[in-house]
Amino acid sequence: MTTTSTALPYFLYSLGILFREGLEALLVIIALVAGTRQAGRSGLTRSIYGGAAIAIVVSLALAWAVQHVIGDNTSDTLEGVFQLLAAATLFYVSSWVTARAQAQRWRSFIDSKVEAVRRGDGPIFALGLTAFLAVLREGAETIVFFQALTAGATESVERHAIAYGLIAGAVALALVFMILQRVTVMIPLGPVFGVTSVMLYALAVIFAGQGIASFQESGVLSASFVSLVPTLPMLGLYPTVQTLAAQALLLVLALGAITRPWLRNTAHVSQPAQAAPQGM
């Protein structure tokens, strides 16, 4: 009963990670292709898709290597390293503040590449290399996330749920790709990234608890137990001061990252209202 109830969360975790990371890479590819077509250089789309395809193959090879070289005989300490690394990376990529700045940097970078194509002074392989690096970057992050996710999945049904989530995520990305190729108006990505950001924040908290617990199991960290706290590995919840403190810290930081843009917008709106009476 308990094992069956844990399958759905792992399925959603797996689906959410792949969809979020894949969507970021997909948007870069779509933007590059649209830019080259607007510049009248449609022939370069092959190099873009080729770079993306090579990056996918390299990412799959890296995933296989990580799983088989260190995954078959992974110590608790190494599991903890992956889980804490995944927690830190998830928190970073999920931050709405840094995501906005990151999107702007990507947009400037893509615009510069497209402009070079339009002028004809850029190398032919530049766009393909850009696509390759964009997909490989997301692929590397995804490998870290899934290594941490599988380390926390102790039951076979949970691992099967992760595999099904991968399949569902790949299908969802394929559908989004086909939609974006056929429509000129982008789908509302703000709500999509908003929902996935909240989910990835939650995963960061879970991985933090599991990572500290792995270090405690290996003897790297001591464990100070507390009463009245259940043990729920699926949620990264363990009855120790160290795991609870790490998760509480991440929750506070996540709350600050989520509310900071809202507080900033509120301050900008209130400032003109306060200044208006002085000008009268």
Note the pLDDT of residue 58. 92
Mean pLDDT of 236-249: 92
Q: Higher model confidence: residue 88 or residue 164?
A: 164
Find the range with the poorest average confidence among 28-42, 78-92, 135-149: 28-42
Tokens for 82? 């992956």
Q: Is residue 51 part of a domain?
A: yes
Is the pLDDT score of 87 beyond 80?
Answer: yes
Residue 272 lies in a domain: no
pTM: 0.69
Read off the pLDDT of each residue in 72-97 and give the average, rounded to a whole number: 72
- 103 vs 194, higher pLDDT: 194
d(CA 148, CA 220): 18
The predicted-structure confidence for 210-223, as pLDDT tens digits, reads as follows 889 989 988 888 99
Average pLDDT, the chain: 77
In a domain, 17, yes or no: yes
Confidence of residue 256 (pLDDT cuts 50, 70, 90): confident
Which range marks the domain in which residue 27 is found?
A: 2-187
Greater pLDDT, 67 or 240? 240
Residue 119 lies in a domain: yes
Would you say residue 6 lies in a domain?
A: yes
* Residues 33-38, mean pLDDT to the nearest whole number: 72
Give the lowest-confidence range in 135-139, 162-166, 173-177, 272-276: 272-276
Q: Is residue 58 part of a domain?
A: yes
Q: What is the pLDDT of residues 151-182, one digit of tens each?
A: 878 788 888 999 999 999 999 999 988 887 77
203/118: higher pLDDT: 203
* Domains identified in the chain, total number: 1
Evaluate whether residue 262 is within a structural domain.
no
Answer whether residue 274 is part of any domain: no
The reported pLDDT for the residue numbered 126 is 73
- Segment 53-64 shows an average pLDDT of 90
User: In the structure, what pLDDT confidence band is assigned to residue 228 with cuts at 50, 70 and 90?
Assistant: confident
pLDDT of 62 above 60: yes
pLDDT of residue 1: 38
Question: Does residue 113 surpass a pLDDT of 70?
Answer: no
